[in-house]
Amino acid sequence: MWHRAIAVPGRVAVGEHGFDLFTADLRCGPWTHREAHCGCQCVGDLTYQAICEPHRWHVIVSDENSAVEAWHDHAFPGWRELPIVPARLRSVDQPGLSKAAKKWIAEHYPPPMQVVGAPVITDRSNGGTRHVPGRSPWAGYDISHTAVEPDRRVSQRRASAGSREPTRPPTTSLGSALGA
């Protein structure tokens, strides 16, 4: 049985797209059996389904981040190429993005990705890799760079570029919008 995910309580409209996130619990546990010794026949783990109803699109995956990423691939092609907001701009004493981070995003993100529901990608520690809904300046997801592309570590790019600012990866679908 699919249930709405706690993180996304209802359908979110994003331009011509919609976003719904559901979970199905396929795990074994005391809540699945009337008797403790009934013999387990459970089939898996917690499963996630992201849906864009207007386009009759959906994906079923084994973790929440993968569902969120797949939906962004559908609704915001090219989002994986966005610059990564440096960790030094994150606000440590309040939730959400700092004023400095919002200013940096406004200067570095292309206009096509500064729309309602658009994501940001932020540099975070390995312990904070969950994608967080509603934390971009446009009420979209704040996506952890470590969960999206483990090979795109800001520290590796900084070392190779000799700069404190993250470099932009080669672009494809956003082309000139990202300054390629």
- CA 154 from chain centre, in angstroms, equals 17
pLDDT digits over 91-143, tens only?
A: 666 677 889 999 999 999 999 999 999 999 999 876 788 899 999 999 999 99
Count of positions (residues) in the chain: 180
> Hey, what are 168's tokens?
């932009």
**Spatial CA neighbour of 135 closest among 78, 173, 169, 91:** 91
How confident is the model at residue 158, as a pLDDT?
Answer: 44
Neighbouring CB atoms inside 10 A of 60's CB total: 15
Domain boundary among 75, 110, 138: 75
* Distance, CA of 61 to CA of 36 (rounded, Å): 29
Domain encompassing residue 40: 3-75
Question: 90 and 37 in one domain?
Answer: no
Verdict on whether the full-model pTM lies above 0.85: no
Domain boundary among 52, 75, 98: 75
How confident is the model at residue 49, as a pLDDT?
Answer: 96
Task: Report CA-CA distances (Å) from 130 to 7, 25, 69, 84, 124.
Answer: 11, 19, 11, 15, 10
**Is residue 120 helix, strand or coil?**
strand
Question: 36 and 16 in one domain?
Answer: yes
How many distinct structural domains can be found in the chain?
Answer: 2
- 105 contacts 143 by C-beta, under 8 angstroms: no
Question: 99 and 68 in one domain?
Answer: no
Query: Which of 12-16, 34-38, 49-53, 158-162 has the least mean pLDDT?
Result: 158-162
- Do the domain assignments include residue 152? yes
> Hey, what are 28's tokens?
């074994």
- Do the domain assignments include residue 133? yes
